[in-house]
């Protein structure tokens, strides 16, 4: 715990083949993330962004009260994912499927939606679409560093260098 942030790492396995994907990884880590009642934030480890995380926390009350299951952050489609994952509307509603936005690998969500799921390799989408979600589009700095080429591009990005230390 530092600066009010507790970072917990849940090891999925010893190899890439043992990876649990997003949904399976969340289910496995769930006991480390929450007491079972409090909403928690999911942030992918291979995404660098300047999104103001307090905006996710503003959704915690509605999620805790059960009027909302989660809130996701989407970004304009990057070139490598031009088809997109969804369409986010100005009122915060969303429509799954090909669209102008991509899941930005950031969300706050209720632990109750994961109850009873096994910690096995499984993807977050399309499973997540069945829940009551809202979304917003982040047009600020966001970069995926999932491979060495993307990381090198990020290291040469002046906008990233203004605030990030890597």
Rounded distance between C-alpha atoms, residue 128 and residue 43, angstroms: 15
Per-residue pLDDT, 34: 83
Per-residue pLDDT, 166: 44
Per-residue pLDDT, 33: 84
Higher pLDDT, 36 or 130: 130
54: phi then psi, degrees, rounded to nearest 5: -60, -25
Rounded distance between C-alpha atoms, residue 159 and residue 123, angstroms: 31
* pLDDT (tens digit per residue) in 101-128: 999 999 999 999 999 999 999 999 999 9
pTM, rounded to two decimals = 0.87
In the numeric block, which tokens belong to residue 107? Answer: 């969300």
> CB–CB of 48/154 below 8 Å?
yes
Judge whether residue 7 has pLDDT over 90: no
Residue 94 banded pLDDT, cuts 50, 70, 90: very high
> CB–CB of 129/78 below 8 Å?
no
CA distances from 7 to 4, 18, 29, 35, 42 (A): 10, 22, 12, 15, 11
* pLDDT (tens digit per residue) in 14-35: 888 888 999 999 999 999 888 8
Judge whether residue 1 has pLDDT over 60: no
User: What CATH class is the domain 16-139?
Assistant: alpha beta
> CB–CB of 65/130 below 8 Å?
no
Rounded distance between C-alpha atoms, residue 145 and residue 15, angstroms: 19
Q: Quick one: average pLDDT of 158-163?
A: 68
Domain parsing of the chain, residue ranges: 16-139
Rounded distance between C-alpha atoms, residue 35 and residue 26, angstroms: 14
């Amino acid at each position: 715990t530092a600066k009010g942030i507790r970072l917990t790492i849940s090891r999925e396995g010893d190899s890439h083949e043992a990876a649990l994907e997003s949904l399976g990884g969340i289910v496995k880590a769930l006991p480390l993330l929450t007491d079972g009642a409090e909403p928690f934030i999911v942030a992918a480890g291979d995404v660098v962004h300047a999104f103001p995380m307090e905006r996710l926390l503003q959704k915690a009350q509605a999620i805790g009260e059960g009027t909302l299951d989660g809130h996701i952050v989407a970004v304009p489609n990057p070139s490598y994912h031009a088809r997109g994952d969804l369409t986010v509307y100005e009122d915060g509603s969303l429509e799954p499927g090909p669209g102008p936005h991509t899941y930005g690998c950031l969300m706050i969500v209720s632990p109750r939606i994961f109850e009873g799921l096994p910690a096995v390799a499984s993807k977050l989408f399309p499973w997540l679409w069945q829940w009551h979600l809202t979304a917003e589009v982040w047009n600020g700095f966001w970069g995926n560093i999932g491979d060495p080429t993307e990381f090198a591009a990020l290291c040469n990005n002046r906008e990233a260098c203004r605030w990030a230390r890597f």
